């Protein structure tokens, strides 16, 4: 009976990778493994609400470390691949990591680590018992998996993993508006996921493989890269990922749901989820289907312009701080879409840099708005005021974040905008370049309005000029919630993220090099393909 399974008789080398794998190559799967095991351990400890945050933060710190190691290895060795169970594509699932995936994975894990710290204060015992920390760590399994996988169906699976975790986080408090927001979010995402799945089914029907590198090779061998079938697949994918990314016609779920959950959940979502959609657009339309991207470039540009305008005008019109920030997320998505629409190396590196910037700055802004709420007990701009007098340092941090999200120098938002505008004009898309600039200008006004209302003026609406409502009165509004401010747990993550924004603004070379490498790897995928199949 044993002989049936002995490997001596069959030559597996055509279908399997039988080479010994260096232990360092395990870094490729380490981010997913660490988050899966971390999530499982947190799930087992669900009753122990004191130990849970510590464990989760420990695992998230470990996640940052392995992602950092992975990025260093990718920069050192080029694109690296590991095939699960040794089975080569098209049989097995490959994890293929390039500079783009490793960079985004690292930044995402830093943001998740900060959110873990921030959650110590904002997520109470009930939220912990309902599983905030297991969901957060498992969400990271989905996010990192999506960034690192080299298989299109596997990408779908990681999307599901992160969506399921995000549903859980969205309804954490079990309040009515939360359920309402979760239904909108859930329905839209399920529809998007269905389009994704249908498109993937068609890809498999056409090419007989689901490995991204394999599809890219077979796609480039086709005679007519823009046939009807391929265009259908391309439009399905575009619609699916545009929904995830909250691009213009399908953006309404984001402002409808992002202001309902716990503020740290909003921060994580605003930072990570839409950017996974943008990443998928980059991966599929630039690496796998470059022909379809060229055919749809004008559509992309139109959607990008409309998204930029929706986001900017929406932000101007809002008086609820969290909803306003939700529209700024959308405006950022427009900038990244603009990079994909132009499609040159310069534009793509701008889009990648912008994605990194947007992950950090949107999370930081939501965290800051959470602190605003702790200090004054409201998110309503009409009732905010006088925060400058209560904490000058916080006012300065908020101003830095406002500058960064508007794309003003010397912060991290400036450089990707320069790249994107430069690339748009160089490509002859003047309207697109103008839209990015106009959106930045409107964002400056919207954020300036927030800063003046919440920090600069003396007190809530109706306070006469020159007078100020003393800190004592404002503390009375906040009640007991201000007590939470004592801990460093809310200031440390905000500090880390703000420091990154300032660092990437003043020293952009490192991030520019990373995003350029990521963009070159997408436009000239030879290294990516060679890493999966060897030779070539």
Integer Cα distance of 17 and 87 in angstroms: 6
Instruction: Report in angstroms how near the CB of residue 91 gets to another protein at its nearest.
Output: 13
Instruction: Report in angstroms how near the CB of residue 39 gets to another protein at its nearest.
Output: 7
Integer Cα distance of 411 and 498 in angstroms: 10
The dihedral over CA atoms of 212, 216, 217, 223, expressed in degrees to the nearest 10, equals 150
Nearest partner of 73 among 54, 108, 97, 57, judged by Cα? 97
Instruction: Report in angstroms how near the CB of residue 29 gets to another protein at its nearest.
Output: 4
Q: How many Cβ atoms are within 10 Å of 125's Cβ, its own excluded?
A: 9
325 binds another protein (CB under 8 A): no
Q: Are 457 and 463 in contact (CB under 8 A)?
A: yes
Of 3, 5, 221, 393, the residue at the interface with another protein (CB under 8 A) is: 5
Of 31, 42, 148, 402, the residue at the interface with another protein (CB under 8 A) is: 42
17 binds another protein (CB under 8 A): yes
Nearer to another protein, 27 or 342 (CB): 27
Per-residue burial over 225-255, b = 16 or more CB atoms within 10 Å of its CB, e = otherwise: beeeebbebbbbbbbbbbbbbbbbebbebbb
Using CB under 8 A as the binding rule, the residues of this chain from 205 to 224 that contact another protein are none
Instruction: Report in angstroms how near the CB of residue 17 gets to another protein at its nearest.
Output: 7
Instruction: Report in angstroms how near the CB of residue 362 gets to another protein at its nearest.
Output: 30
29 binds another protein (CB under 8 A): yes
Long-range pairs of 64-69 with CB within 8 A, sequence gap ≥ 24: 64/106, 64/109, 64/110, 64/113, 66/27, 66/30, 66/31, 66/34, 67/31, 67/102, 67/105, 67/106, 67/109, 67/144, 68/106, 69/27, 69/30
430 binds another protein (CB under 8 A): no
Using CB under 8 A as the binding rule, the residues of this chain from 74 to 103 that contact another protein are 82-86, 95
Q: Are 331 and 270 in contact (CB under 8 A)?
A: no
Stretch of residues binding another protein (CB under 8 A), selected from 22-30, 118-126, 143-151, 195-203: 22-30
Of 15, 24, 41, 496, the residue at the interface with another protein (CB under 8 A) is: 41
Nearest partner of 331 among 472, 441, 210, judged by Cα? 441
* Sequence-separated (6 or more) residues with CB below 8 Å from residue 231: 292, 295, 296
- Which DSSP helix (H) or strand (E) runs through 486? none
21 binds another protein (CB under 8 A): yes
198 binds another protein (CB under 8 A): no
- Which DSSP helix (H) or strand (E) runs through 95? strand 94-97
Query: In DSSP terms, which residues pair with 149 in a beta bridge?
Result: 95
Stretch of residues binding another protein (CB under 8 A), selected from 41-49, 296-304, 371-379, 431-439: 41-49
Interface with another protein: number of residues (CB under 8 A) = 31
Of 31, 39, 385, 440, the residue at the interface with another protein (CB under 8 A) is: 39
Integer Cα distance of 171 and 484 in angstroms: 23
Instruction: Report in angstroms how near the CB of residue 79 gets to another protein at its nearest.
Output: 16
For residue 107, give Cα distances in angstroms to 16, 358, 402, 528.
33, 10, 20, 21
Cα 333–93–522 angle (5° rounding)?
A: 40
For residue 485, give Cα distances in angstroms to 78, 118, 373.
45, 11, 11
Stretch of residues binding another protein (CB under 8 A), selected from 1-9, 180-188, 403-411, 496-504: 1-9
Of 44, 58, 392, 473, the residue at the interface with another protein (CB under 8 A) is: 44
473 binds another protein (CB under 8 A): no
Of 8, 9, 14, 23, the residue at the interface with another protein (CB under 8 A) is: 23
Secondary structure class of 270 (helix, strand, coil): helix
Using CB under 8 A as the binding rule, the residues of this chain from 347 to 376 that contact another protein are none
Instruction: Report in angstroms how near the CB of residue 168 gets to another protein at its nearest.
Output: 11
Of 1, 14, 393, 486, the residue at the interface with another protein (CB under 8 A) is: 1
2 binds another protein (CB under 8 A): yes
Residue 381: burial class (beta carbons within 10 Å; 0-12, 13-18, 19+): buried
Using CB under 8 A as the binding rule, the residues of this chain from 128 to 187 that contact another protein are 131, 134
43 binds another protein (CB under 8 A): yes
* Sequence-separated (6 or more) residues with CB below 8 Å from residue 482: 374, 375, 475
Stretch of residues binding another protein (CB under 8 A), selected from 26-34, 142-150, 234-242, 355-363: 26-34
55 binds another protein (CB under 8 A): no
Instruction: Report in angstroms how near the CB of residue 134 gets to another protein at its nearest.
Output: 7
Of 47, 228, 393, 535, the residue at the interface with another protein (CB under 8 A) is: 47
Give residues in contact with another protein (CB under 8 A).
Answer: 1-2, 5, 17, 20-23, 25-26, 28-29, 33, 36-37, 39-44, 46-47, 82-86, 95, 131, 134
């Amino acid at each position: 009976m044993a002989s049936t399974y002995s490997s001596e008789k069959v030559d597996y080398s055509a279908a399997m990778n039988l080479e010994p794998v260096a232990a360092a190559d395990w870094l490729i799967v380490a981010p997913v493994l660490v988050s899966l095991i971390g999530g499982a351990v947190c799930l087992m400890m669900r009753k122990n609400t004191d130990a849970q945050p510590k464990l989760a933060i420990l695992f998230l710190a470990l996640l940052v470390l392995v992602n950092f190691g992975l990025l260093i290895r990718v920069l050192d060795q080029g694109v690296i691949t590991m095939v699960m169970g040794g089975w080569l594509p098209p049989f097995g699932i490959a994890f293929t990591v390039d500079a783009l995936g490793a960079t985004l994975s690292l930044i995402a894990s830093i943001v998740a680590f900060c959110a873990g710290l921030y959650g110590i204060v904002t997520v109470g015992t009930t939220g912990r018992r309902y599983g905030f920390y297991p969901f957060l760590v498992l969400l990271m399994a989905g996010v990192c998996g999506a960034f690192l996988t080299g298989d299109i169906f596997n990408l779908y699976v990681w999307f599901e993993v992160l969506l399921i975790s995000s549903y859980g986080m969205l309804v954490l408090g079990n309040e009515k508006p939360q359920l309402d927001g979760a239904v909108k979010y859930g329905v839209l995402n399920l529809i998007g996921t269905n389009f994704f799945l249908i498109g993937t089914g068609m890809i498999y029907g056409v090419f007989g493989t689901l490995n991204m590198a394999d599809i890219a090779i077979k796609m480039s061998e086709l005679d007519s890269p823009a046939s009807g079938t391929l265009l259908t697949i391309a439009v399905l994918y575009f619609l699916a990922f545009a929904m995830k990314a909250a691009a213009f016609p399908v953006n309404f779920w984001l402002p409808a749901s992002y202001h309902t959950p716990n503020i740290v959940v909003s921060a994580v979502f605003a930072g990570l989820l839409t950017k996974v959609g943008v990443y998928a657009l980059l991966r599929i339309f630039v690496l796998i289907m470059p022909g379809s991207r060229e055919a749809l470039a004008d559509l992309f540009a139109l959607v990008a312009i409309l998204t930029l305008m929706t986001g900017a005008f929406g932000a101007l019109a809002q008086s609820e701080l969290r909803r306003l920030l939700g529209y700024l997320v959308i405006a950022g998505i427009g900038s990244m879409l603009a990079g994909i629409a132009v499609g040159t190396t310069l534009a793509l590196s701008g889009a990648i840099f912008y994605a990194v910037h947007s992950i950090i700055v949107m999370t930081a802004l939501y965290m800051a708005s959470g602190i605003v709420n702790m200090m004054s007990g409201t998110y309503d701009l009409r009732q905010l005021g006088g925060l400058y007098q209560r904490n000058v340092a916080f006012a300065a941090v908020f101003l830095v974040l406002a500058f960064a999200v508007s794309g003003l120098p010397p912060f991290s938002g400036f450089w990707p905008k320069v790249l994107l505008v430069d690339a748009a004009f160089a490509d002859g898309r003047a309207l697109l370049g103008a839209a990015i600039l106009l959106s930045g200008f409107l964002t400056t006004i919207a954020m300036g309005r927030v800063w003046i209302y919440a920090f600069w003026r003396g007190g809530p609406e109706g306070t006469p000029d020159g007078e100020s409502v003393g800190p004592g009165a404002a503390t009375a509004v906040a009640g007991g919630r201000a007590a939470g401010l004592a801990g460093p747990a809310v200031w440390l993550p905000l500090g880390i993220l703000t420091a990154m924004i300032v660092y990437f603004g003043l020293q952009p070379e490192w991030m520019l090099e990373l995003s350029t490498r990521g963009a070159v790897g997408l436009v000239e995928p030879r290294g990516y393909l060679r890493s999966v199949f060897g030779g070539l």
